[in-house]
Chain A
Amino acid sequence: MNRSDIKNFLISSLDADADLNKVNQEMETVNRMYDFSDSFKDRLLEKLFSRGLEINPQIEFLRTISWAFPRIALTGVAAIILLLISIFLMEDTLSFNTILGLSESYDENIISMLTGN
């Protein structure tokens, strides 16, 4: 195609009823020339994944918390149950006072402990 044919083709490619297959075919050589530089992909991946590293400490912290929380909670619950069992075995009751370790204390003792008299 000479210069004038190219111009006419470009204008006609914008017709509402233009044959898109023909447009693609004729423009294929031109379209293939549009590309980014050779280093585009490497720079992009470096940017993306090094950017990822910047936010990694936060992500890692949240991930560690979500991993550790159920384990710590389960251990805590197991310890509480064991403690309650041992209190029940020693005191034969699970009242609020026994849990607080006040089952054998009388009010007078507590008041004297607190006031020092």
Chain B
Amino acid sequence: MTKGWYGDSNESDLIKAVLEGDKTAFTEIVSRYRKMVARTVKGMLGDSVFAEDIGQEVFIKLYYSLAEFRGESKLSTYIQKIAVNLTLNEIKRKKRFSSMFSQTGNNEMKVIDITVRDSEERNEAKEIVDKALMTLDPKFRIIVAMRMLQGYSTKETAEILDLPLGTVLSRLSRAQEQLRSILDKL
């Protein structure tokens, strides 16, 4: 394989090249999977500067853990797992931080109004999806993001989230109920 060109290379060739120290191969991995990671991270955290940072952390963690990747699952699944874990950690961190300053105890669901900065580039569907996702409970948000934004099946979602299939199905159903209620208010 010519060093420096990996446009048509398969996953294993890319991984091998990265492990041999080829930075161009890693750049190719970033190019291939950045949108997938963006959908997961931004779908769950919203379009914020934190999402960019988490996205960066996903690839940094991938780079340093690639030697441990045994190829038992697809590389995309492995990257998704990293993205989901880091994003959930960030959500927990934010929740802890906000609970330190807010003790209202109001459990009523509020529809979060997201400021749309580049509104001309976004369409209505994106706006609705963003608002709905940001309003959903995080444990449902991840299930919904996996289905709507990544198009994963229940089985794939269960594999990425390390959850039993039954749990994913029940969360999907509860997420649907919550989503219906959120969308009614939009």
A residues adjacent to B (C-beta < 8 A):
1, 3, 6-7, 10-11, 13-16, 18, 20, 23-24, 27, 29-37, 40-41, 43-45, 47-49, 51
Contact = CB atoms under 8 A, between A and B. Distances in A.
Interface size class of B (residues with CB under 8 A): 35 or more
B79 interface: no
B43 A33 contact: no
B55 A11 contact: no
Contact of A23 (B52, B124, B148, B154): B148
Contacts of B31: 41
Interface of B: 23, 26-27, 30-31, 34-35, 37-39, 42-43, 51-52, 55-56, 59-60, 63, 121-126, 128-129, 132, 144, 147-149, 151-154, 169, 172-173, 175-176, 179-180, 183, 186
Contact of A30 (B35, B59, B129, B144): B129
Between B35, B43, B122, B153, the greatest number of chain A beta carbons within 10 A of the residue's beta carbon is seen for B35
Contacts, number: 101
B58 to A, nearest CB: 9
11 contacts: A6-B124, A11-B183, A14-B172, A14-B179, A24-B151, A27-B148, A29-B123, A30-B123, A30-B126, A34-B39, A41-B34
DSSP class of A's interface residues: helix, strand, loop or mixed?
helix
A14 B128 contact: no
A37 B180 contact: no
Given A27-B149, A29-B123, A30-B126, A43 B56 contact: yes
Between A14, A24, A31, A45, the greatest number of chain B beta carbons within 10 A of the residue's beta carbon is seen for A14
B124 A35 contact: no
Contacts of B37: 36
A113 B175 CA distance: 94
A33 B122 contact: yes
Given A10-B179, A35-B38, A20 B124 contact: no
Contacts of B176: 11, 14-15
A33 to B, nearest CB: 5
Contact of A35 (B34, B172, B173, B175): B34
B126 A11 contact: no
B76 to A, nearest CB: 14
Contact of A16 (B42, B56, B173, B186): B173
A45 B18 CA distance: 13
Contacts of B34: 35-36, 40-41
Contact of A41 (B27, B147, B153, B154): B27
